Chains A and B, each alone.
Chain A
Amino acid sequence: MIELQGIKKVFRMGSQSLEALKGVSLKIEKGEFISIMGPSGSGKSTLMNIIGCLDTPTAGEYVLDSDRVAGLSFDQLAAVRNRKIGFVFQNFNLLPYATAWENVELPLLFDGKNARKRKERVTEILKAIGLYDWREHRPSELSGGQQQRIALARALANDPPILLADEPTGNLDSRSGEEIMDILTELWKEGRTIVMVTHNDRISARSQRIVRLFDGLVLP
């Protein structure tokens, strides 16, 4: 499902350049739950952004669902992010002025779903994560755990096969963190592919496989 071959990423800042990924090759099968671990600056987030089609590699090949990502346009990449990939960020990244309902509705709106379908899906998903009664609340009126659940609901809105979670429990207390991990595990059991970046060994223990990065390379 996800196949990376010799992925390199170089950031240029004026005359300076920084090689964040130095040739990463990685294969993730459909329905796998993997954790990417490594110290700060090892290239975890860069790798995650490339897998999530938020960024493009400087060199190497990325094949997602048998499509070469390098050949996709800006809007085609947006469509991939919208339908195939759900993002969960450490700091939730919810729209502050929008309600829980509106935040969850957004990917459906961008996908052109009609009002009836959107209503059905948002209701279904908010009920599933137990926050339907909080639908009219803004993120600032919700706890960290609730915000991350809303972010998770938004990631799942278009029912994507892949879920990318970047330190999903990093900003949560242990109980809320456990709740989020329970949901992720449940989603994996339902057949979703989950790729998670974490520092936490206890959290990564929930995954099937751990990929360790160091200095822009995958450790054998």
Chain B
Amino acid sequence: MNLTLPRFFWNEFRKRRKKAALITFALFWGTLSILLLLAFGQGLTIQFRVSFSGLGETLIMITGGQASLTFEGLPKGRPIRLYREDIAYLRERIPEALRIVPESYNNWQVSAGGKEVNRAVHGTTAEFALMRTQVSQMGGRFINVDDNAQGRKVAFIGWNVAKDLFETEDPVGNEIVINRVPFTVIGVLKKKLQDSMYQGPDADQIYLPFSSFLMIDSQREIDRIHIQPQGPEQSKLVEERVRVLLGRKYRFDAADRYALGVWNTIEDSKEGLAIFKGIEIFLGIIGGLTLLIGAVGVTNLMYAVVKERTKEIGIKLAIGARRRIIIQQFILETMFIFAKGTFWGFIAAFNIVHLIRLIPVNYESFGIEAYLLRPVFSLRIFVAYVIILGVLVFLSGIFPALRASRSNPVESLRYE
């Protein structure tokens, strides 16, 4: 490829770059605004997903309820309770469920090192961590299968519980007393954004192996069953299976919406995500329209540039420039301006996004800053942006360039 002419055009462009400063700035500003707009939009969606998954992802939670319909001669108003055996019963009958886990809880006095608090204490199994986003801070862990099998007296505690009982000291390895029974702390919950909860935020909870929980609370009833379907698309099916199977077992109508408490986070999150997807599309449309306005602006400015350089075009034509040389020069100049403006816009947007992300966010307050101060710079969006803008800028450069190439040399030479 012969680069003589592009090099010459680049050289000419460099000499005139101050004159192109306005167009370059327009492209810089457009790039910066659009990339920031999309970064905030994406950050918002991702933070929503994160905060929703703070409770758990693809989760169906079942609690007992009250029959509101008569069924096979049985009256309405009967309480429906869940029992430990229901876990095995459902596991055997719902192959579409990946995990089925029990959870029971009670409020007890919890003490350590002379400090005492009243907290909800839960009994559950190791799989609970995967379903309910229970990630331990460094140096600790959640309850495991052996803890349950051997009935170990170990506890996983929320970061607020750790702060209340141990202040700055590392609780892992220390003892806490729950309902007069000592337990060893094995892990502290890592801080997370959580916008949905049932017994208060996970930061305030204490988790024990289910078998150990039964030693201090021996009831047969359980408070909640957590079910994770194989895939989110099976959530409705699994929910229906649960209603039918438990309806058969405890004799209530599967269509009775009050017999069981069902919290299907998958269906909830679909709705929430649709809203955020809508916001993202809306921001995308605004971005697209801004791009179009920008392209019209670039076309206008390029026409002005062509007009201003009429005499130069005349001179070049007079000394033998072919039409394509004039076209190439204007298109290449437009693309140089585009590359420069976009590059600096990208650098600015990238740095602003990363600076904003340095601002600390208080995850417990669930304030707006947790959603707004976490913009996400997406390379995918940037590449798409560059392609779309590149095409628009190319198109906005081609018409002025064609006009320039069709100039009459005599008239252009006369232009002052």
Contacts and interface: CB of A to CB of B under 8 A. Distances in A.
Interface of A: 49, 52, 54-55, 74-75, 78-79, 81-83, 87, 89, 93-95, 97-98, 102, 106-107, 109-112, 114-115, 154-155, 158
B5 interface: yes
B307 to A, nearest CB: 16
26 contacts: A49-B410, A52-B318, A54-B318, A54-B409, A55-B408, A55-B410, A75-B323, A78-B322, A81-B320, A82-B319, A82-B321, A87-B319, A89-B413, A93-B311, A93-B318, A95-B312, A95-B315, A97-B12, A102-B11, A106-B316, A107-B319, A109-B5, A109-B8, A110-B316, A110-B319, A158-B320
Interface of B: 2, 4-5, 8, 11-12, 15-16, 311-312, 314-325, 408-410, 413
Nearest to A49: B410
B219 to A, nearest CB: 90
B319 A79 contact: no
A87 B318 contact: yes
A79 B320 contact: yes
B318 A79 contact: no
B12 A154 contact: no
Interface of B, secondary structure class, is helix
A79 B323 CA distance: 11
A112 B4 CA distance: 8
Contacts of A110: 316, 319-322, 325
A154 B319 contact: yes
A111 B323 contact: no
Contacts of B320: 78-79, 81-83, 107, 110-111, 158
B410 A54 contact: yes
Nearest to A85: B320
A111 B5 CA distance: 11
The 7 nearest A-B residue pairs measured at CB: A82-B320, A97-B15, A75-B322, A81-B320, A54-B409, A110-B320, A107-B319
A110 B8 CA distance: 10
A174 B101 CA distance: 105
Contacts of B408: 55
A74 B320 CA distance: 10
B409 to A, nearest CB: 5
Nearest to A55: B410
Contacts of A75: 322-324
